[in-house]
Amino acid sequence: MSSSHNPYMPSLVKIIDIIEETGDTKTIKLIFVDEQTQKNFSFKPGQFNMLTVLGVGEAPLSISSAPGEGDYFSHTIRRVGNVTGAITRLNVGDTFGARGPYGNGWPLDKIKGRDILIVAGGIGLAPLRSVIYYIKENRDNYGKVEILYGARTPKDCLYRREFDEWREIPNTRLLLTVDNVPEGTKWEHDVGVVTLLFDKISLNPSETAVLMCGPEIMMKFAVHNLLEMGFKDKDIYLSMERRMNCGISKCGLCQIGPKFVCQDGPVFSYYELRNLTEKIF
């Protein structure tokens, strides 16, 4: 983008497909209406866009598609606020605004050659879905992959129809758990918080990079357990959530200590986070 471009101005995006994930969550596939903008739009797994519904507001949302997935990008959106509420009411063909991508994304170049442990909770799987397909496309660049995912109930699991495809990625395991299983629901996996799956991790801590996203309370316990298991704080990468209004390190809302989550993050190693002046966990 040219230097004269106003970074606060969203561009128009059009919904080309909607996938109902759960009762309150949808994945929407988008393209920029302006062809040139769409052509120029490139992103890395773990980056986010600011999505806009004029008159309602703007919110930061992770990109859930992988860069090589197609000539579109997708967001998996849980209806939790005004903007996400407004977007999830739209239909295929409708338009709204987006600007981005912002943030550093996952350190996928830095962790080349390593085994990968993915730990996700709830909607936190969205920015990691992008990683899963990225690894699939670049399978030789990474070692073994284990994906640990926890959701509230079986019905709250995102991307259920894609799980078989993930299991078929060579050298990849998918382990699932839910907080509780309502009566009459079929569930063949674990029950309990995501850290209960840690006993099943077969990766060697010294050869593994951990990519994690989920509620902060989940990440707190997960990081604690991983450290006890011998994973290094420099190898544990977390995607952090903070309030953001600009995405370009101007509004000041997203700071953790001296870090702007929108630009310095949203992905940080736990080593970086634990040494900040503002304590996370």
Residues of this chain that interact with another protein (CB under 8 A) are: 3, 6-10, 12, 53-58, 80-81, 84, 95-97, 215-216, 241-243, 245-246, 248-253, 255-258, 260, 263, 277-279
Nearest CA-CA partner of 102 in 257, 244, 259 = 244
Of 185, 217, 220, 179, the residue nearest 197 (C-alpha): 179
Nearer to another protein, 95 or 180 (CB): 95
Q: How far is the CB of 6 from another protein (least distance, A)?
A: 5
Instruction: Give min distance, CB of 27 to another protein, in A.
Output: 18
CB 268 to another protein: min, Å: 14
CA 273 to chain centre: 18
**What is the closest distance, in whole angstroms, from the C-beta atom of residue 5 to another protein in the complex?**
9
Name the token pair of 102. 């912002």
Cα–Cα distances (Å) from 3 to 77, 164, 229, in that order, read 31, 45, 48
Which of these, 153, 125, 281, lies nearest to 214 by C-alpha position?
125
124 and 25 in contact (C-beta within 8 Å)? no
Q: Which is nearer to another protein, 99 or 136 (CB)?
A: 99
Q: Which amino acid is it at 190?
A: D
How far apart are CB 58 and another protein at their closest, in Å?
6
Q: Of 124 and 201, which has the nearer Cβ to another protein?
A: 124
The region, left, alpha or beta by phi > 0 then psi within -120 to 50, assigned to residue 128 is alpha
Taking the complex as a whole, the smallest distance from the CB of residue 167 to another protein amounts, in Å, to 31
141 vs 153 by CB, closer to another protein:
153
Of 58 and 115, nearer to another protein (C-beta) is: 58
Contact between 136 and 155 under an 8 Å Cβ cutoff? The reply is: no
Q: Between the CA atoms of 85, 89, 92 and 96, what dihedral angle is there, to the nearest 10 degrees?
A: -50
Interatomic CA distance for residues 108 and 131, integer angstroms: 8
Nearest to 124 by CA among 172, 87, 156: 156
| Closest approach of another protein to the CB of residue 238, in Å | 14
